[in-house]
Amino acid sequence: MTRGPTWFNITSLVAGFSFLYLPILLLVIYSFNESRLVTVWGGFSTKWYASLLQNDQLLDAAWVTLRVAFASATLATIIGTIAALVLVRSGRFVGRSLFSGMIFAPLVMPEVILGLSLLLLFVAMDYSRGFWTVMLAHTTFASCYVAVVVQSRLVGFDKSIEEAAEDLGCPPVKTFFLITLPIILPGVIAGWMLAFTLSLDDLVIASFTTGPGATTLPMKIYSQVRLGVTPEINAVCTILVVLVTMGVIAASIATKRQQVQKERDERAAFGAEG
Amino acid sequence: MAKKSIGPVRRAYSPWDDPEKAPFIEFRNVTKKFGDFTAVNNLSLKIYEREFFALLGGSGCGKTTLMRMLAGFETPTSGQIFLDGQDLAGIPPFKRPSNMMFQSYALFPHMSVEKNIAFGLKQDKLPASEVDARVAEMLRLTKLEQFAKRRPHQLSGGQRQRVALARSLAKRPKVLLLDEPLGALDRKLREETQFELMNIQEELKMTFLIVTHDQEEAMTVADRIAVMDKGELVQVATPAEIYEAPNSKFVADFIGDINLIEANVIEKSDDGTRLRSVADNFSIDSDQVTDAAVGDRVWYAIRPEKVRIAQGRREKGVPNRIDGVVWDIAYLGDMSIIHSKVGDDDGDTLRATFANVSRMVENPITWDDEVVMSFDRDAGVILKG
């Protein structure tokens, strides 16, 4: 029995999504505003995107952000994948459940605390803050997200596939790169994209851990907004929204494919005669 | 128990009867413990070259652990394993000269059929031309030529099983280990594949070691069977010996259908033993010379197909004649299994098979018929305990 959507359902849906996306939509619309005043519509124009290209400060900040995101996502993917492998594979060892719980902790830890503690650490180490400290700080929390994503892929992994490779004469390390990694690759890629997106839009932790010469884009935008919103900011935010949306879509496609692949593997392992 | 010939041996090849022959695989006092649980208990076993050997037992009997120790995935707690004269201790799985076909097939999902088969050969760094030739040979042997480019998920269960077999055979291992290889196939396909396996084994002249819980499968494919229980070998013998001369109540009960009659030894002589049923008032005359003493409690085990059954009370002067009343009939098409009660409700129930050689019988054996059962003096075995 099927029912059409009731008026109540449609209204809730529209209200809910408006609540979520109307502000972003407004931001995108006003980025094409001719007028210099952010709140007054003065006709369609792309001139703020053009002037953005002249704004070296913003471009520098964007370049720093991209470098930080790329480096921290890559490092976090390596660390997170190793952590996931150990937690899923190594069987029981003392403190296993403590460790797997601690993997999740930074996911729920307030960013302010994470940022402050990292700042204190870098100060205590007497390490000059800048690009590297931001990158390390982002790696720290992103590796937890990667570990969680990769772990879900590894749980359904048939261990005998690796045993088969070793049985056929392949040493364990080579087995990891030839067999295990290709099979869990969708999860690893999804983890990388998640880490990249998280680093791209982080403000709090970056503000705590950065130093001179390493201002990220979210920090730059935040500091400019305090002096008054310009349509240029709207333009740069629109570009960010597009980037992040693309990242999320790509990650969800990878996850979806991973799911399909996983089902296929399960059918491959326990398949009925067809 | 005295050894005697029991039917023709399937193949004239029987190296286990030759005490001079060196074993190809030898387990010497092997024990494997997982924590407090003893999976394999001080087990010694010799397997010979070109043998098709089956490890048979219920789940948790240690058969898979034994095979995984040979492949190198488990390390024995104590004892030694030899393969072709070489002590396998400390040799990792990827350096052992055996290959294994896994129960889940464990195919590489991201590789095509031919890449799966070629994987082991590439690890040996064989030249490409030889890899191609060997893959082609394996595809032909397992009739997979037209599926060479497919991925495992595009194959049926039976085809995947053949890919797994081809992959494990490609390196021509000294011994092929088969872990419940046909478990996931349906009955008809399983029977076909059993014969295919036997043909491949004879063609390649390799040593096969199969682990199975399916006694029919073990009987069909193997030259010799080791029946395992609780980490120990109960009996190691040819299928015919295991079936016709089980050495214990466990083996008799585990393999096929059998009547077990509890009886006392009442008379012993050089050419036989006389038993009397505990529950009923009939005696059994056997030509077996047992080492049980007069008065001992034993089991008399006899296969249903060795029991002749006829209506009425006609047969006179035959040995081992037992009167009964038909209590239940299982009609299986090719034959019927007739359960007859001897004596009252607490008495023995004897099963006899009746081959349905005629399509229609005018006066078939039916419920509550009075029947007479009989069997020859050498039809059953006396088992202690």
pLDDT at residue B220, as a whole number:
92
pLDDT at residue A239, as a whole number:
86
Q: Which residue of A has its CA nearest to B187?
A: A273
Domain boundaries, chain B: 15-253, 257-384
Q: Where are the alpha helices (DSSP H) in A156-180?
A: 159-167, 172-175
pLDDT at residue B12, as a whole number:
63
pLDDT at residue B72, as a whole number:
94
Q: Do A273 and B186 touch (CB under 8 A)?
A: yes
Q: What is the pLDDT of residues B321-345, one digit of tens each?
A: 888 899 999 988 888 999 998 877 7
H or E stretch at B236: strand B232-237
Predicted structure pTM score: 0.81
B189 and chain A in contact, CB less than 8 A: yes
Q: Do B105 and A169 touch (CB under 8 A)?
A: no
Query: Are the C-beta atoms of residues B291 and B2 closer than 8 Å to each other?
Result: no
Q: Is residue A39 domain-resident?
A: no
Query: Are the C-beta atoms of residues B209 and B199 closer than 8 Å to each other?
Result: no
| Rounded distance between C-alpha atoms, residue B26 and residue B209, angstroms | 12
Report the amino acid identity of residue B45.
L
Taking 50 as the threshold, does the pLDDT of residue B2 lie above it? no
Q: Is residue A174 domain-resident?
A: yes
Q: Residues in chain A with pLDDT < 50?
A: 1, 271-274
Q: Do B93 and A171 touch (CB under 8 A)?
A: no
Place of tokens 């003065």: A42
pLDDT at residue A2, as a whole number:
57
Angle CA B169–B173–B179, to nearest 5: 65
pLDDT at residue A146, as a whole number:
94
pLDDT at residue B212, as a whole number:
94
Assign a CATH topology to domain B257-384: OB fold (Dihydrolipoamide Acetyltransferase, E2P) (2.40.50)
- Residue A8 neighbours by CB distance under 10 Å: 8
Q: Where are the alpha helices (DSSP H) in B170-264?
A: 187-204, 215-221, 239-244, 249-254
CA distances (Å), origin A11, targets A15, A17, A21, A24: 6, 10, 15, 20
Q: What is the CATH number of the domain that holds A163?
A: 1.10.3720.10
> How high is the ipTM of this complex?
0.84
Q: How many domains does chain A have?
A: 1
Q: What is the pLDDT of residues B208-264, one digit of tens each?
A: 999 999 999 999 999 999 999 999 999 999 999 999 999 999 999 999 899 999 999
Place of tokens 């652990």: B65
Share of residues in chain B with pLDDT > 90 (%): 61
Rounded to the nearest angstrom, the minimum Cα separation between B235 and chain A is 30
Instruction: Give the mutation candidate from A167, A175, A179 for the B interface (greatest B CB count, under 10 A).
Output: A167
pLDDT at residue B18, as a whole number:
84
Of A168, A183, A274, the CB nearest to B157: A274
Confidence of residue B307 (pLDDT cuts 50, 70, 90): very high
H or E stretch at B140: helix B128-141
Rounded to the nearest angstrom, the minimum Cα separation between A96 and chain B is 19
Mean per-residue pLDDT of chain B: 89
pLDDT at residue A49, as a whole number:
87
Pick A239 or B40 by higher pLDDT. Answer: B40
The phi, psi pair for B83, rounded to 5°, reads -130, 120
Residues near A46 by beta carbon (within 8 Å), at least 6 away in sequence: A32
Q: Which residue of A has its CA nearest to B151?
A: A268
Could you tell me which residues are beta bridge partners of residue B274? B267, B285
Place of tokens 């326990």: A270
- Residue A173 neighbours by CB distance under 10 Å: 8
Rounded to the nearest angstrom, the minimum Cα separation between A51 and chain B is 49
B95 and chain A in contact, CB less than 8 A: yes
Give A164's contacts in chain B (Cβ within 8 Å).
100, 102, 106-108, 167
Which range is most confident: A250-254, B120-124, B362-366? B120-124
B69 and chain A in contact, CB less than 8 A: no
Taking 60 as the threshold, does the pLDDT of residue B364 lie above it? yes
Taking 70 as the threshold, does the pLDDT of residue B1 lie above it? no
Q: What is the pLDDT of residues A46-64, one digit of tens each?
A: 888 888 888 888 888 888 9
Report the amino acid identity of residue A191.
G
Give A170's contacts in chain B (Cβ within 8 Å).
94, 119, 123
Q: Do B94 and A182 touch (CB under 8 A)?
A: no
Q: Do A161 and B171 touch (CB under 8 A)?
A: no
Rounded to the nearest angstrom, the minimum Cα separation between B375 and chain A is 44
Q: Do B153 and A267 touch (CB under 8 A)?
A: yes
Q: Which residues of B163-176 are buried (b: 16+ CB within 10 A; e: fewer)?
A: bbbbbbbbbebbbb
pLDDT at residue B8, as a whole number:
47
Q: Do A161 and B107 touch (CB under 8 A)?
A: yes
Q: Which residue of A has its CA nearest to B120?
A: A168
H or E stretch at B284: strand B283-286
CB pairs under 8 A between A and B: 91
pLDDT at residue B183, as a whole number:
81
Q: Is residue A49 domain-resident?
A: no
Pick A106 or B297 by higher pLDDT. Answer: B297
Residues 38-57 of B with CB under 8 A from A: none
A40 and chain B in contact, CB less than 8 A: no
Angle CA A227–A231–A232, to nearest 5: 85
Q: Do B102 and A163 touch (CB under 8 A)?
A: yes
Rounded to the nearest angstrom, the minimum Cα separation between B349 and chain A is 40
Instruction: Give the mutation candidate from A168, A170, A174, A188 for the B interface (greatest B CB count, under 10 A).
Output: A168
User: For the residues of A58-113, what is the DSSP string, one character each?
Assistant: HHHHHHHHHHHHHHHHHHHHHHHHHHHHHHHHS---TTHHHHHHHHHHHHHS-HHH
Give B95's contacts in chain A (Cβ within 8 Å).
169
Q: Do B119 and A168 touch (CB under 8 A)?
A: yes
| CA-closest candidate to residue B338, choices B323, B356, B354 | B354
pLDDT at residue A240, as a whole number:
82
Q: Is residue A34 domain-resident?
A: no
| CA-closest candidate to residue A75, choices A148, A24, A135 | A135
Total residues belonging to chain B: 385
Query: Are the C-beta atoms of residues B339 and B350 closer than 8 Å to each other?
Result: yes
Place of tokens 């937890």: A144
pLDDT at residue A40, as a whole number:
79
Query: Are the C-beta atoms of residues B234 and B63 closer than 8 Å to each other?
Result: no
Instruction: Give the mutation candidate from B103, B110, B172, B189 for the A interface (greatest A CB count, under 10 A).
Output: B110
Place of tokens 């090849």: B13
Q: Is residue A42 domain-resident?
A: no
pLDDT at residue A262, as a whole number:
65
Give A91's contacts in chain B (Cβ within 8 Å).
none
Q: Is residue A231 domain-resident?
A: yes
| Rounded distance between C-alpha atoms, residue A253 and residue A247, angstroms | 10
Taking 90 as the threshold, does the pLDDT of residue B65 lie above it? yes
| Rounded distance between C-alpha atoms, residue A98 and residue A94, angstroms | 9
* The CATH homologous superfamily of the domain defined by B15-253: P-loop containing nucleotide triphosphate hydrolases (3.40.50.300)
A176 and chain B in contact, CB less than 8 A: no
The phi, psi pair for B301, rounded to 5°, reads -110, 125
pLDDT at residue B3, as a whole number:
46
Could you list the residue range(s) of the whole structural domain that residue A117 is in? 58-267
User: For the residues of B29-87, what is the DSSP string, one character each?
Assistant: EEEEEETTEEEEEEEEEEE-TT-EEEEE--TTSSHHHHHHHHHTSS--SEEEEEETTEE
Give A160's contacts in chain B (Cβ within 8 Å).
102-104, 106
Give B72's contacts in chain A (Cβ within 8 Å).
167
Pick B367 or B164 by higher pLDDT. Answer: B164
